[in-house]
């Protein structure tokens, strides 16, 4: 699908967002470095609250992947379809909302409480720029269709859609697609258990 480049995609914020978008796999590294290396106060409460946030976040992510499929794995601006149903009818960026909840959850698990608001601010800046780029791309490709979707759907934390839009979900594919994410969670849980044991020796 060919398209002209929208003015939104040409903005400075979108250009910075494009760089972050292409390197977004590295964005959690500062969160994890601080959470794992800085001493914290872990307790049963931090584990329960933190892992609940991770569970909710991953549920939101999986719902988004089930609706969008492999569209969520793209690294280029080649988008074949606009997904507006399922989790994407509640908010425009369910995968990033899921990421936010999951990474803040692990920050809570770490017990490094001062870093929680700092992590929120860093995450908000990074992903707002990424979304500015993605929104520009979608506006370039889908034009008025995307602008109408954008007007009726919140960018972040969603609300129930006024009208139900049918769409296909592939939950089996979504769970399989998230296997590397599940493995990361298992490794992180092990790392935080090791941190707690090391701190209280």
CB 195 within 8 A of CB 36: yes
Mean pLDDT of the residues in the chain: 88
Determine the pLDDT at residue 175: 92
pLDDT greater than 50 at residue 67: yes
Determine the pLDDT at residue 63: 94
Residues contacting residue 195 through CB under 8 Å, at least 6 positions apart: 36, 40, 42, 110
Residues contacting residue 66 through CB under 8 Å, at least 6 positions apart: 86, 87, 169, 170, 171, 173, 174
Determine the pLDDT at residue 24: 83
Q: Among 21, 164, 141, 172, which Cα is nearest to 86's?
A: 164
CB 35 within 8 A of CB 107: yes
Indicate the DSSP class of residue 77. S
pLDDT digits (tens, 9 = 90+) for 100-159: 999 999 999 999 999 999 999 999 999 999 999 999 999 998 999 999 999 999 999 877
pTM for the whole thing?
Answer: 0.88
- Taking the domains of the chain in order of start, what are their residue ranges? 7-199
pLDDT greater than 50 at residue 2: no
Determine the pLDDT at residue 164: 66
Residue 152 CB coordination number (10 Å): 12
What's the CA gap between 91 and 73, in Å, rounded?
A: 18
pLDDT greater than 50 at residue 1: no
């Amino acid at each position: 699908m060919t398209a002209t480049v929208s003015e939104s995609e040409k903005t400075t914020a979108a250009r910075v967002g494009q760089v972050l978008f292409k390197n977004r796999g590295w964005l959690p590294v500062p969160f994890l470095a601080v959470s794992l290396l800085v001493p914290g106060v872990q307790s049963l409460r931090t584990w329960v609250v933190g892992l609940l946030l991770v569970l909710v976040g991953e549920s939101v992510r999986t719902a988004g992947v089930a609706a969008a499929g492999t569209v969520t794995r793209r690294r280029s601006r080649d988008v074949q379809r606009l997904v507006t149903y399922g989790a994407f009818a509640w908010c425009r960026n369910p995968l990033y909302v899921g990421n936010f909840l999951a990474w803040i959850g692990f920050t809570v698990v770490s017990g490094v409480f001062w870093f929680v608001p700092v992590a929120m601010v860093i995450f908000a800046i990074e992903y707002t720029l990424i979304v500015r780029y993605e929104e520009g791309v979608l506006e370039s490709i889908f034009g008025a269709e995307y602008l109408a979707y954008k007007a009726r759907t919140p960018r972040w934390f969603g609300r129930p859609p006024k009208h139900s839009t049918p769409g296909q979900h592939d939950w089996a594919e979504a769970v399989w697609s998230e296997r590397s994410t599940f493995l990361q969670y298992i490794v992180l849980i092990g790392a935080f258990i090791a941190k707690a044991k090391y701190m209280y020796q």
